[in-house]
């Protein structure tokens, strides 16, 4: 390990950990303010559209994904883009302050997220997500060509940032992603997205002696 590295680095999933997101297409439509003729009244999980994972791993370009989403939801192409971006809601309270506190203590911070090119443009650059934008080591599924919980994406993260798996403290709201990280040697912890996430993160980091 390089001498200028702190003993641990903290890596966050984004949606459900630092970022409030829509978990159904109906919620995404409401966030975006678009009408979708084909969406039923009952909740439709995002994963119902199988092409979403292909888009999130860079295997499907937006030029093919958005028309498919428009057909699936029953809306025009422009509304389909808004619908997709309606998955993003807002940064959780306390996210920015936690990232800044970790960095002030000299702790490297990063993210490992299943996301897409359209979302990444907002999350990493132009959107209102200051805590996420301050993260130092960012890896996204659409750029890596891999999707959590594939072990290869955890291995790629370690290789990219020259980190031993045991030095990475990871938080995710999907148990299968936590289990995969643990199997790869990471220190991984589950976050319940239905409760205050900043409080949970601080409790874990406090017990680990990071903050």
Predicted TM-score of the model (pTM): 0.93
Q: Answer yes or no: do 96 and 127 share one domain.
A: yes
Q: Answer yes or no: do 137 and 193 share one domain.
A: yes
Q: Is 161 exposed, middle or buried (0-12, 13-18, 19+ CB in 10 A)?
A: middle
Q: Is residue 165 part of a domain?
A: yes
Q: Is residue 179 part of a domain?
A: yes
Rounded to an integer, the average pLDDT of 4-30 is 92
Q: Is 196 exposed, middle or buried (0-12, 13-18, 19+ CB in 10 A)?
A: middle
Rounded to an integer, the average pLDDT of 22-49 is 97
Number of domains within the chain:
2
Q: Is 106 exposed, middle or buried (0-12, 13-18, 19+ CB in 10 A)?
A: exposed
Q: What is the residue range of 38's domain?
A: 25-86
Taking only the tens place, the pLDDT of each residue in 126-135 is 899 999 999 9
Is the distance from CB of 164 to CB of 5 less than 8 angstroms?
Answer: no
Taking only the tens place, the pLDDT of each residue in 85-111 is 999 999 999 999 999 999 999 999 999
Q: Answer yes or no: do 127 and 197 share one domain.
A: yes
Res 72 pLDDT > 80: yes
Q: Answer yes or no: do 156 and 80 share one domain.
A: no
């Amino acid at each position: 390990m390089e001498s200028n590295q702190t003993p641990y680095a903290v890596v966050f999933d984004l949606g459900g950990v630092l970022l409030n997101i829509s978990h159904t297409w109906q919620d995404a439509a409401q966030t975006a303010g678009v009408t979708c003729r084909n969406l039923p009244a009952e909740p439709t999980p995002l994963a119902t559209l199988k092409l979403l994972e292909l888009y999130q791993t860079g295997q499907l370009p937006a030029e093919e994904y958005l028309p498919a989403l428009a057909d699936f939801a029953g809306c025009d192409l422009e509304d389909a883009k808004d619908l997709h971006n309606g998955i993003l809601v807002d940064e959780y309270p306390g996210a920015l302050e936690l990232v800044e506190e970790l960095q002030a203590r000299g702790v490297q911070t990063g993210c490992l997220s299943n996301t897409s090119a359209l979302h990444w443009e907002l999350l990493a650059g132009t959107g209102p997500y200051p805590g996420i934008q301050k993260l130092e080591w960012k890896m996204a599924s659409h750029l890596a060509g891999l999707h959590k919980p594939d072990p290869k994406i955890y291995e790629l993260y370690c290789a990219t940032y020259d980190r031993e798996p045991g030095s990475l403290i990871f938080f995710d709201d999907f148990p299968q992603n936590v289990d995969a990280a643990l199997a790869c040697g990471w220190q991984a912890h589950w976050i319940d997205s239905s409760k205050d996430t900043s409080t949970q993160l601080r409790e874990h980091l406090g017990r680990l002696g990071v903050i």
